[in-house]
Amino acid sequence: MSSIALVDCNNFYVSCERIFQPKLIGKPVVVLSNNDGCIIARSQEAKRLGIPMGAPLFQWAEFLRIHDVGVLSSNFALYGDFSSRVMEILASSTPEIEIYSIDEAFLCLKGIANPADYCRKVREKILKWTGIPVSIGIAPTKTLAKVANHRAKRDPSLEGVYAPTLKEISSHLETLPVEEIWGIGRRLTACLEKWGIRTAAQFRNQPEEWVRKSLSVVSMRTLLELRGISCLPIEEVPPQKKSTMTSRSFSIPILAKEDLEEAVASFAARGAEKLRKEGLCASWIQVFIMTSPFQKEEAFYRNQALLTFPEPTSYTPKILSTAKKALQSIFRHGYAYKKAGVLLGDLVPETSYQQDLFSPQNPHQKKREKALMHILDRSEARFGYRALQFAAEGITPAWKRPNSSRSPCFTTRWPDLLTIHI
């Protein structure tokens, strides 16, 4: 029987920070979202204190101070670089790999005689070469590999690698809450609990016909995966994105329309850059704005607007002007806006899309637009983020405060290279 391994970096964002700040080892640490709005990552010590994921910083600031919790601003350049290093090691160690997220990857261990020993060597290699600790769960299916990984993280005696037998897996499923099964969300959990299904084992034991009729094909695949029948193969080539989102919570509420326009323009420009990096074009754009749901004394407002492009595009000026129109239709004076975002959707390859039948086609103009965007992207790659930007984004945005607790980009910026004094 072939095996699948799930490699998951332990408390990834915090682990990256600890590499260059060993004083944080053994100490509770949290990492904040953009503009230090809420908690997006926690060390194991912070989890034991009961600090929840997604908690707003202002609500927990006093608690963090009392318990001497290390608070860091997010440093996505650093995290992305270490993710690439870990994935390169995995790719060089295993012929079939599916990068599932920034800190997770599935490996196909087909043909490997002793998967557990093999994964222990991979784990040691990653720790030695990058300093990032990982946990590895090994099982016949992706879903069961998730279950095994869950146990590998929580049982120190396993030393980060767990390859359970089918009998051991069955025992774990007896106590695993149904909501912790990979692929089962909150809504499905609520439905299953109404039918008295509260554990993974109870779900696994349901008749196939009932699951197919009462739930969905996806739930049916999950059921079979829990029974050890692989339904989700390793996807070496990631599927094409259907949409891309750029959003941010603001460190201070925005009142002025001009400031909100600059923020939305910045998000739209960033989204267009993402499209060009992946050779995609967007068919429509959606802009949303909202006030804080936590300020009970103030009226809550949230709205969104969606506009369709005449034909798919990744040309930043066109995306900026359309984003501004969308914002103008939903902006209301008198509100303190706490978050905004831009969603670009119905993505298609830039080399093949349906052109607008009723719009005049100008190949020369499109060639100029593409050349201009190429210069913009090259300048950013060479000179750094925001080396060139559009005036609509603002020169010194009021909505963007410097992250006071962000660590240096030790591995991606020459000025931030670690200095050693002898």
Question: According to CATH, what is the number of the domain 165-239?
Answer: 1.10.150.20
How far apart are alpha carbons 273 and 236 in whole angstroms?
A: 24
Q: What is the pLDDT of residue 237?
A: 64
Give the model confidence (pLDDT) of 393-409 as tens digits: 988 777 776 566 788 88
Low-confidence residues in the chain, pLDDT < 50: none
Strand order in the sheet with 39-42: 39-42, 29-32, 70-73
What are the phi and psi torsion angles at 288 (to 5°)? -130, 150
For the chain, give me the number of helices (H) and strands (E)?
Answer: 14, 13
Q: What is the pLDDT of residue 151?
A: 93
246 close to 316: Cβ distance less than 8 angstroms: no
Q: What is the pLDDT of residue 410?
A: 85
200 close to 176: Cβ distance less than 8 angstroms: yes
Report the predicted TM-score, pTM, of the whole model to 2 decimal places: 0.81
Buried b or exposed e, range 207-246, using 16+ CB within 10 angstroms: eeeebeeebeeebbbbbbbbbbebbbebeeeeeeeeebeb
Q: Is the C-alpha dihedral spanning 216, 218, 222, 223 positive or negative?
A: positive
Strand order in the sheet with 104-108: 97-101, 104-108, 4-9, 134-139, 161-162
The reply to whether domains 165-239 and 243-393 share a CATH topology is no
What are the phi and psi torsion angles at 112 (to 5°)? -90, 125
So where are the chain's domains? 1-163, 165-239, 243-393
Q: What is the pLDDT of residue 37?
A: 80
How far apart are alpha carbons 207 and 223 in whole angstroms?
A: 9
DSSP letter string over 128-165? HHH---EEEEEESSHHHHHHHHHHHHH-GGGTTEE---
How far apart are alpha carbons 143 and 227 in whole angstroms?
A: 10
Q: What is the pLDDT of residue 160?
A: 95
How far apart are alpha carbons 178 and 193 in whole angstroms?
A: 9
How far apart are alpha carbons 124 and 117 in whole angstroms?
A: 11
Taking Cα atoms as reference points, which of 46, 80, 75, 76 lies closest to residue 63?
46
Q: What is the pLDDT of residue 357?
A: 64
Q: What is the pLDDT of residue 2?
A: 64
User: What is the topology classification, in CATH, of domain 243-393?
Assistant: Dna Ligase; domain 1 (3.30.1490)
By CB atoms closer than 10 A (0-12, 13-18, 19+), residue 315 is middle
Q: Which amino acid is at 161?
A: V
79 close to 102: Cβ distance less than 8 angstroms: yes
Q: Is the C-alpha dihedral spanning 222, 228, 231, 233 positive or negative?
A: positive
Question: According to CATH, what is the number of the domain 1-163?
Answer: 3.30.70.270
